[in-house]
Amino acid sequence: MSAEPKWDGWRLLIFRTEREVYLQTRSRRLVTDLFPDLAHAAAALPAGCVLDGEAVVFTGGRTDFESVQRRGLSGRTRAAVLARKRPANFIAFDLLAEGGEATQDLRTRPYAERRDRLLHLLTPLGPPLQPTPATGQRQVAERWFEEMRSVGVEGLVLKRTASRYRPGRTSDWQKIRHAVRHDAAVIGVLGNRRRPRAVVVALPGHPTPAVTNVLPAALSFQLGRALSQLPSDDLDNVPARGWRPVPLGVTVEVQVGTTRHAGRVRVVRLRHGE
């Protein structure tokens, strides 16, 4: 298993063809004109090369997602101005194709091999194109997890060293984000209270109720069983706020995200009310 920092930026693919450079988002939107600094740097890559990584802007020594977002949502002229004021870095974490005289598709090769080839390709070039740090040592990964929070890194991504490259979500990559855990009272539900899609909780020290993530099927079943045992007064009346209130009596353990994902709430397990 290899551990890498989870950067807070825009996920991009860089394509270097014989004639041009293309930058593409995960939704296949072309954003080459919005990151002219990265496109210029990528011209040094060999033709046929394809990189996967994150466009990141640093401000005051920390990742600055708002600056990346502003760049990605601007027009061509405005993006050029922003690139001069706050240039971007491309932190590459995978090499999908190796260019040169004989272009090779590396997506079926193991991650460890792709990583070695990525380092060989980018290390001589230097910023703004750079490989992400990676380690196979647990103690180093744990230190990164704690220390890199101060520069805006969201957590870690764990990757199986023998894994192939797969776009989208894959069990071969596991994201571990910075978060804290609380016990929270369930005060409402979204959907049917017997099989809720999500729940509304009162977090300690937070004046505003929080809506959790979509519940996995097993948790939805457990919570539905617990909520069904509570009094049913007004449970089927949905107020303008969009969720059904429930009487107090069910408590869950929740995980609350920090960094940019502060406020994202995920139910870990049912604590009381079984």
Q: What is the DSSP letter of 135?
A: B
CA distance 194 to 213: 17
* Cross-strand partners of 62: 59
Q: Judge whether 107 and 96 are in contact, CB under 8 Å.
A: yes
* CA gap 211, 265 in Å, rounded: 7
Q: Give DSSP secondary structure letters for 36-104.
A: HHHHHHHTTSPTT-EEEEEEE-EETTEE-HHHHHHHHTS-HHHHHHHHHHS--EEEEEEEEEE-SSS-E
Asked whether the bond before 131 is cis by omega within 30 degrees of 0, the reply is no
Taking the C-alpha atoms of residue 230 and residue 249, their distance in angstroms, rounded to an integer, is 7
Strand partners, 56: 89
Q: Of 6, 85, 159, 175, which residue is the catalytic one?
A: 6
Please give the structure tokens belonging to residue 17: 């063809």
**Catalytic site includes residue 175:** no
Identify the burial level of 210 via C-beta atoms within 10 angstroms of its C-beta, where 0-12 means exposed, 13-18 middle and 19 or more buried. middle
Q: CB count, 10 Å around CB of 247?
A: 14
The sign of the torsion formed by the CA atoms of 148, 87, 52, 265 equals: positive
Report the catalytic residues: 6
